[in-house]
Amino acid sequence: MIDRVKIHVAAGDGGNGVVSFRREKFIPKGGPDGGDGGNGGNIIVEATNFMSTLNDFKYKKHFRAQSGEKGMGSNMTGKSGEDLVIKVPVGTILKIEGKIIADLNEDGKKVIVAKGGKGGRGNSHFATPTRQAPTIAENGECGEEYEIEFELKLLADVSLVGLPNVGKSSLISVMTNAHPKIADYPFTTLDPILGKVEIGHGASYVIADIPGLIEGAHNGRGLGDEFLKHAERTRVIAHVLDSSSENVLNDYKKIREEMLLYSHDFEKKAEIIILNKCDLVDEQKVSKILKLFPNRKVFVVSALARTGIENLKNALYYEIQKAPFVEFKVDESFNISTDEEPSISIEKMENSFFVKGKKIDQLLRKYQLNQPDGMEIFMKKLDELGLEKQLVKLGIKEGDTVVINDMEFEYHK
């Protein structure tokens, strides 16, 4: 099972506004009627109960929403691009640049992770008493692009934890409708497995078989840290122990220590102890083991012989009702922090001044410079940004060259 994946998302670009003039019979000189471009589609991530893994993202990692269409004459706005909805399993956490932006812990919960670009305005917006036939329109804005990380944390009420080969897979197979692969290997279960426990009268709960933990699990040994994160979200921890082990108490302490080293939140969770494989030992040994856990809730069962299972199922349901809900507080304000770039930066090389910057790029993208009025308003915007003042400070002289993108201008006062 893939429970962590990175994908690249790109929202749709806004459509361009257009330059257009009315052309109607008996109206030889109509006014500007260029329509606006449509907005680009958003990228939306939505949680669904119909998925249980992130395997769908193993090969498809690039997602792009539809761009808006350009405007048309007669003040007709271009069609906006459709939003692209990406489905993920309930329990998926979204991260951008390592920051959690959403916890999709409910079916149907959704979040916009990349906003589509705004459509550009047509020339009908630029008509003034002195510019009655404007030949200017705006290009649409670019849609947002991000690399998104999905991390799936299974949502279950109970986690079965324990050393490898203590019989967790066998337990979940007799308690639920899950069918894990069971065999006598040191590491049988390689992925967390979910199963639904039915106890009658419509009552049920979800139980997770967490793959066998070993010493050093909190540091990732044996993929332990990958699996402990799933146990974090459960309300009740069920420690499964092997009755036939030579040192049952030590087995319990190993797992307990690994869990607390991973997160002290485990200390607050309700827990019970399941003494499995009781069919392999006599009653005298079972009694000795029970004395090792005073004031603890211990249930003696045998998954193979199916003894004590119904009592265990009911006891777990009772513990769940008493246990508090697991709350995960995450900042879902979606505010990606970026270093502020200067609006304009100028590099001087002999008699040439090279102008660039984030704001310059935005203006170049926004205005259609092949139109006369487009170049005029572009130059006006540069003046509002204080470009000439900065050039004068740097010692520009009459006849020097100003380079903006692939355009060159000769400076005149």
Classify domain 4-152 by CATH architecture.
Distorted Sandwich (2.70)
The SS3 of residue 271 is: strand
What does the alpha-carbon distance between residue 409 and residue 375 come to, in Å, rounded to a whole number?
A: 12
205-254 confidence digits (pLDDT tens): 888 887 755 444 334 444 344 567 667 778 899 999 999 998 999 999 98
For residue 66, the model assigns a pLDDT of 96
At 308 the pLDDT is 93
pLDDT confidence of residue 189: 45
Same fold for the pair 4-152 and 158-322:
no
In the numeric block, the tokens 């906006």 are attached to 80
What pLDDT score does 28 carry? Answer: 59
The residues that bridge with 148 in the sheet, in sequence order, are 7, 96
pLDDT digits (tens, 9 = 90+) for 95-109: 988 888 888 888 899
Assigned token pair, 398: 């009459």
Give, for 146, the enclosing helix (H) or strand (E): strand 145-152
Q: Are strands 99-104 and 92-96 parallel, antiparallel or unpaired?
A: antiparallel
- Say how far residue 325 (Cα) sits from the centre of its chain: 23
Residues 6 or more apart whose Cβ sits within 8 Å of residue 169: 180, 181, 182, 188, 189, 193, 209
Greatest distance between any 2 Cα atoms in the chain: 108
Q: Indicate the class that CATH gives domain 345-410.
A: alpha beta
User: What residue ranges in 345-397 does DSSP mark as E strands?
Assistant: 345-349, 352-356
In the chain, domain spans: 4-152, 158-322, 345-410
Instruction: Please give the pLDDT value at position 274.
Output: 94
Kind and range of the H or E run holding 47: strand 43-48
Which residue type does 186 have? P
pLDDT digits (tens, 9 = 90+) for 271-306: 899 999 999 999 999 999 999 999 889 999 999 999
CA angle 315, 316, 321 (to 5 degrees): 100
Which pair of tokens denotes residue 239?
């420690």
Q: What one-character DSSP code corresponds to residue 51?
A: -
C-alpha 104/C-alpha 45 separation (Å) is: 9
* pLDDT (0 to 100) of residue 215: 47
Q: Class assignment of domain 158-322?
A: alpha beta
Q: What was the pLDDT predicted at 136?
A: 85
Residue type, 81: G
> For strand 84-89 and strand 99-104, is the pairing parallel, antiparallel, or unpaired?
unpaired
Low-confidence ranges of the chain (pLDDT < 70): 1-2, 25-29, 154-155, 177-192, 212-227, 229-230, 326-342
Q: Kindly state the tokens that stand for 290.
A: 């029970």
The pLDDT value given to residue 13: 95
